[in-house]
Amino acid sequence: MSKNKFSVNGSFKDSVNTVKFLTERMHFVNSAEAVLPTRTDDFGVNKVAKSLHPKEQKLVISKIEKHSDIATSYFFKSETAPIAYFKAGQYLTFKFEIGNAVVTRSYSIASSPASALAGEYQITVKRINDGFVSDYILDNWSVGDEVTAYAPEGNMTYCPLRDADNIVAIAGGSGITPFLSLARAISQGDENCNLTLLYGCRTSDEILFKEELDSLCEKNDKINVVYVLSDSDEKGYEKGFVGADIIKKYAPEGNYSVFVCGPGGLYKFLETELPKLGIERKYIRFEVFSSGKKVIDAKDFSITVINRGKETVIKAGNNETVLCALERAGIEVPARCHTGECGFCRSKLISGKVYIPEGEDKRRVADMQFNFIHPCCCYPESDLVIRIN
Ligand code: FES
């Protein structure tokens, strides 16, 4: 049927045209196959959905770039299928088998969406004190290794219907990666917002991607980058922390959205700084994180896990999330964000009590009423019985 075959003029003709239109539509309905097709994989829409949301992606490490003793970028390609597209600001979740543990961890994608179309992802991993998975990656991943990742996820992306056209992005340490991706996307014409990037580090040596950020800033009016050093006073850098004063100094006139990604301390600091600016809450977006639980009296509990009808009993400390205990015991849980947001790890709490840090309970109301939990942000406070998957 041609697109503009029937015009609508708000007259008697409209009724006539509607009848014609319905008749023609019934002709198509009646001439369609009477039996529903059994193979739907070849439908265009299903192919697109599958390529955007693959269950798993087998990726091969194609390049490793060391930035410093503690930060390294990994580049991935797929040798079997095109890699899934993403929006700047999203993350990739990787699956690891370390000893007996089956673990998942998420890393923001540093490359631009355009590079995904060209078949490549980039993530940057920073060594952290007692970082189980990050240290494993830095010590073990080599070029040519195959790794398993899920489809890109995450909501800290620019959305013109929701966000202001001006984004003030506040990055701390390796939290720069989603904003590097956004800056790259703006410079490649794939995002149409203005970016003021306030990048906080302790010293100038810790700044990642400085050369590229400076070049993106120099070549594009839509991108402005300011470095803020907390521990050293150097020419050409702001001194201090990215708080209300620095934001006020560099934020554009009028409305702006604030995006934040960095360590837990940065979020805590901004919780008291951002209200000073009078920004509407809807314009503030934090990359989600978990603040953890302060344990005074460490205790061990048992968790009875029912997984597809099979029961396993594992040990769990009250200082670790239920998900950590499950992963450590080698029980595979479909987890992605590790912050309670995505809902992938949703499980039924059959009995027992869990602690959920304040402000981190992102369950649906119905899930709360029917005792479903997100094990990634729950800490055991008694012996538990849970059903996963
Ligand atoms: S992993 Fe996302 S909610 Fe638990």
Shared domain for 176 and 258, answered yes or no, is: yes
Shared domain for 280 and 307, answered yes or no, is: no
Range of the domain at 110: 50-149
Q: What is the pLDDT of residues 113-143, one digit of tens each?
A: 999 999 999 999 998 876 788 999 999 999 9
Nearest-atom number in ligand 1 for the CA of 374 is 4
Q: Which of 264, 286, 308 is the last residue of a domain?
A: 286
Calpha distance 317→324 (Å, rounded): 10
**Structure-block tokens of residue 290:** 């978990």
pLDDT given at position 372: 97
Instruction: Kindly report the pTM of this predicted structure.
Output: 0.83
Query: Which is higher by pLDDT, 356 or 389?
Result: 356
- Binning pLDDT at 50, 70 and 90, where does residue 288 land? low
Shared domain for 281 and 173, answered yes or no, is: yes
Shared domain for 224 and 325, answered yes or no, is: no
- Binning pLDDT at 50, 70 and 90, where does residue 52 land? confident
Whether residue 33 lies inside any domain: the answer is no
**Are 261 and 108 contacting, i.e. CB atoms less than 8 angstroms apart?**
yes
Q: What is the pLDDT of residues 330-380, one digit of tens each?
A: 999 999 998 898 999 999 999 999 999 887 899 999 999 999 999 999 999
- Cα-to-centroid distance, 388 and ligand 1 (Å): 12
pLDDT given at position 5: 56
Q: What percent of the chain has pLDDT over 90?
A: 70
Calpha distance 29→133 (Å, rounded): 55
Q: What is the pLDDT of residues 216-258, one digit of tens each?
A: 999 999 999 999 999 999 999 999 999 999 999 999 999 999 9
- Cα-to-centroid distance, 95 and ligand 1 (Å): 14
Query: Which is higher by pLDDT, 208 or 5?
Result: 208
Average pLDDT over residues 198-211: 96
338 CB less than 6 Å from ligand 1?
yes
Using the predicted structure, report yes or no on whether residue 291 has a pLDDT greater than 60: no
- Cα-to-centroid distance, 129 and ligand 1 (Å): 23
Calpha distance 230→236 (Å, rounded): 14
**Structure-block tokens of residue 324:** 């950590």
Sequence-distant (≥ 6) Cβ neighbours of residue 325 within 8 angstroms: 303, 314, 315, 316, 317, 380
Nearest-atom number in ligand 1 for the CA of 340 is 3
- Binning pLDDT at 50, 70 and 90, where does residue 275 land? very high
Q: What is the pLDDT of residues 293-326, one digit of tens each?
A: 555 678 999 999 999 889 999 999 998 999 999 9
Instruction: Assign residue 308 the CATH number of its domain.
Output: 3.10.20.30
**Are 75 and 61 contacting, i.e. CB atoms less than 8 angstroms apart?**
yes
Instruction: Assign residue 130 the CATH number of its domain.
Output: 2.40.30.10
The two beta strands, 121-126 and 194-201, are unpaired
Using the predicted structure, report yes or no on whether residue 38 has a pLDDT greater than 80: no
Calpha distance 251→204 (Å, rounded): 22
pLDDT given at position 385: 98
343 CB less than 6 Å from ligand 1?
yes
Whether residue 375 lies inside any domain: the answer is yes
Using the predicted structure, report yes or no on whether residue 1 has a pLDDT greater than 80: no
Average pLDDT over residues 99-111: 92
Whether residue 235 lies inside any domain: the answer is yes
Q: Which of 261, 286, 311 is the last residue of a domain?
A: 286
Nearest-atom number in ligand 1 for the CA of 345 is 4
Say which DSSP state 82 is in. Answer: P
Calpha distance 204→297 (Å, rounded): 40
Q: What percent of the chain has pLDDT over 70?
A: 95
Shared domain for 171 and 282, answered yes or no, is: yes
Whether residue 3 lies inside any domain: the answer is no
Calpha distance 107→277 (Å, rounded): 30
Calpha distance 249→331 (Å, rounded): 50
**Structure-block tokens of residue 164:** 């202001």
Using the predicted structure, report yes or no on whether residue 215 has a pLDDT greater than 80: yes
User: What phi-psi label fits residue 70: left (phi over 0), alpha (psi between -120 and 50 degrees) or beta?
Assistant: alpha
Shared domain for 192 and 145, answered yes or no, is: no
Q: Domain count of the chain?
A: 3
344 CB less than 6 Å from ligand 1?
yes
